[in-house]
Amino acid sequence: MSTIYILWLRQVKRYLRSRSRIIGSLAQPLLFLVALGFGFGPIFQKAGEGNYIDFLVPGVIAMSILFTSMFTGIEIIWDRQFGFLKETLVAPVSRLHIMIGRTLGGATVAIIQGIIIFLLSFFVGFRPYSLPLLPLAFIFMFLIAIIFTALGTAIASKLEDMQGFQLIMNFIIMPTFFLSGALFPLKEIPKILEIIVKFNPLAYGVDSIRGTLVNSSYFGLQTDVSVLIFLAIVLLSLGSYLFNKIQI
Amino acid sequence: MSNIIEVKNLTKRFNGFTAVDNISFEVKKGEIFAFLGPNGAGKTTTIKMLTTLLNPSSGQLLIDGHSSITDRNRARLTFGIVFQDPSLDDELTAYENMYFHSVLYKVPRAIRKARIKQLMEFVELWDRKEELVKRFSGGMKRRLEIARGFLHHPKVLFLDEPTLGLDPQTTNHIWTYIKDLNKKEGTTFFFTTHYMAEAEKIADRIAIIDRGKIIIIGTLAELKNKTRTDSLEDAFLALTGKKLRDEEASTLELLRTRRKMRHH
């Protein structure tokens, strides 16, 4: 138990101490929000879809959570040779506890980022439609964070070199973000896109945040909840399994 | 029992290549044992198996009577290890690194702080305990790792190239720490090194491994006698030959190079 706690604590301390990383990683989501939000806003409104900023904020929150979570997971590649992770792999503690601590820590950091974006979006005029639903929104954000931290862990457990990192960035993280309905409504997209989106975990995450923050869910919150919880369990298991098999 | 490490018929095969070939040896309690070999000899693989990081293909490993294979966690409590590459958390303070180790190794809470202080003073780093480790020099990191490795009072301390790349002052301090701990606490030391002159001065017994097999084990005098040479270095070269051992850079070495580029 204390193992889980100190691994969680470590992730959080590392995050809180890296001011430049915090600010840097907020820049991109905010850029998307401001540039696309104000840029496409008028046309979106004209097409009868309402306020684009309101539509976009959940997408941008999900973006920051996705990126932060995956990075925490992927950090393992470096960490296992040159960092504290190696020390933990040799210690008389269960690997499962290490993985859980790390994942919870990474998810905590990701959700803090998500909440910061949420608060900053108030400056461009965003307001959540229902205060009582906010805690639910945060729970959904946490689920997304868990899913992607575990996914990052699973992938990184199989990689030995930082080269793979570039591939992951371009072929996994970016497509996941762009094809999740974070930036565009799913209402009348081409069939091919629709199929891809339906298989994208982030789509349900974005949808759930959109549902709780602006009352506009495409899949329905019930579907979102079931899918996200199911995925969280699957990916935590997969992540633990692969993490357990790491041999330095 | 007087043997703290027992290795019997240890073998490790990777995809048809035999890295460690049926080796057997013992290390006595309280010994300072040097494990030497040319590049690619199988030293690192052996240490990894001894420290539960790698599973052997066959054979037995006992540390203080506990098997490194079937009784992992108990074996892990009996040894500490200082790796060749630092395994500290750069973004945490020296104290925090020590503290985390104490939690992982179940050092009783009541004595944690006192023991951390004692060991950090031993390696002369207590006054820098609140500094982030990323500000430490290589030598300071190594000293911190030695203090950390000893935090849970292990019976054996494994060190992989402990003085590689360090300045003479730090190197001197490190060997002094090792001799001190060995004398005062009776800790057994198992280390690898390429610095023969150092191994000569400090090791009680030496094993030389090449191509996965142990060629010879004995005291310095025995080695010099058998090979009819005057120094450990000459004995080593006599046993393992003078030809260059070209290896392919492993992924770890590639990462190391990248890391050096980053930090310079």
Taking all residues of chain B, what is their mean pLDDT, rounded to a whole number?
89
* Contact across the interface for A87 and B104, Cβ inside 8 Å: yes
Do the Cβ atoms of B208 and B237 come closer than 8 Å?
A: no
Q: Tell me which residue of B230, B224, B192 sits closest to B209, measured CA to CA.
A: B192
Residue B263 confidence (pLDDT): 59
B259 shares contact with chain A (CB less than 8 Å): yes
Condensed to tens digits (0 to 9), the pLDDT of residues B36-90 reads: 988 788 888 999 999 988 889 999 999 999 998 888 899 999 999 998 888 899 9
Please report residues of B whose CB lies closer than 8 A to that of A90: 51-53, 76, 81
Q: Which residue of B has its CA nearest to A80?
A: B87
**For the residues A186-194, what does the mean pLDDT come to?**
90
Q: Does B24 touch chain A (CB under 8 A)?
A: no
pLDDT (0 to 100) of residue B258: 67
**CB contact B72 to A (< 8 Å):** yes
Residue A215's φ and ψ, nearest 5 degrees, are: 60, 40
Nearest CB partner across the interface for A89, out of B53, B90, B251: B53
Cβ-based contacts of A78 with chain B (< 8 Å): 255
Alpha helix ranges (H) inside chain A: 2-17, 19-46, 52-74, 76-82, 84-90, 95-120, 134-158, 163-168, 174-178, 191-198, 201-214, 221-244
Task: For chain A, positions 200-229, list CB contacts with chain B under 8 A.
Answer: none
Using CA atoms, how far apart are residues B215 and B35, in angstroms rounded to an integer?
11
Judge whether B92 is closer than 8 Å to chain A, CB to CB: yes
The domain over range B3-263 is classified in CATH as 3.40.50.300: yes
Are B76 and A92 in contact (CB < 8 Å)? yes
Q: Do B86 and A160 lie within an 8 Å CB cutoff? A: no
Q: Which of A98-107, A155-164, B248-257 has the lowest mean pLDDT?
A: B248-257
Angle in degrees, 0-180, between the axes of helices A2-17 and A95-120, rounded to the nearest 10: 40
Hey, what are A97's tokens?
């506890």
Which of B87, B96, B251 comes nearest A87 by C-beta?
B87
Residue B247, pLDDT > 70, answer no
Rounded average pLDDT over B221-233: 86
CA angle A2, A90, A238 (to 5 degrees): 75
Taking contacts as CB-CB distances below 8 angstroms, the residues of chain B near A85 are 87
Which residues fall within 8 angstroms of residue B82, CB to CB, at 6 or more apart? B142, B145, B146, B149, B157, B158, B159, B160, B162
| Nearest residue, CB atoms, B89 vs list A83, A89, A90 | A83
| Overall average pLDDT of the B235-261 stretch | 73
Q: How far is A84 from chain B (nearest CA, A)?
A: 5
Residues from chain A contacting residue B146 (CB–CB below 8 Å): none
Residue A113's contacts (CB-CB under 8 Å, 6 or more residues apart) are A22, A25, A26, A64, A65, A68
**Average pLDDT in chain A:** 91
Pairing verdict, β B66-67 and B58-63: antiparallel
Residue with the larger pLDDT of the pair B209 and B241: B209
pLDDT tens-digit map of B16-26 = 889 999 999 99
Instruction: Report residue B259 as tokens.
Output: 């890391």
Q: How far apart (Å, rounded) are the C-alpha atoms in residues A114 and A128?
A: 14
Residue B254, chain A, CB below 8 Å: the answer is yes
Q: How far apart are CA B178 and CA A213, in angstroms?
A: 61
Q: Contact, A223 vs A162, CB < 8 A?
A: no
Report pLDDT for B196: 85
- Which residue's structure tokens are 């305990």? B129
Per CB-CB distance under 8 Å, the chain A contacts of B252 are 81
pLDDT of residue B248: 65
pLDDT digits (tens, 9 = 90+) for B106-147: 999 999 999 999 999 999 999 999 999 999 998 999 999 999
- Residue B246, pLDDT above cutoff 80: no
Whether pLDDT at B264 is above 60: no
Which stretch of A150-154, B105-109, B225-229, B260-264 has the lowest confidence by average pLDDT? B260-264
- Using the Cβ of B81 and the Cβ atoms of chain A, whether some distance falls under 8 Å is answered with yes
CA dist., res. A130 & res. B225, Å (int)? 86
Instruction: Give chain B positions within 8 Å (CB) of A160.
Output: 251
The predicted structure's pLDDT at residue A144: 96
Give A89-99 pLDDT, tens digit per residue: 899 999 899 99
Q: Which residues pair with B8 in a beta bridge?
A: B60
Task: Give the model confidence (pLDDT) of A146-163 as tens digits.
Answer: 999 999 999 988 887 777
**What are the tokens at A30?**
């905010």
Q: Which of B12, B14, B45, B87 is the best residue to mutate to test the A interface, defined by the most A CB atoms within 10 Å of its own CB?
A: B87
Closest-CA residue of chain B to A248 = B53
User: In 3-state terms, chain B is what percent helix, strand and coil (to 5)?
Assistant: 45, 25, 35
Query: What was the pLDDT predicted at B251?
Result: 65
Confidence grade of residue B202 (pLDDT, cut at 50, 70, 90)? very high
User: What mean pLDDT do residues A44-62 have?
Assistant: 91
**Residues of chain A numbered 14-33 and touching chain B (CB < 8 Å):** 14, 17-18
Q: Kindly identify which residue of chain A lies nearest to residue B77, measuring between CA atoms.
A: A92
Contact A13 B96 (CB under 8 A): yes
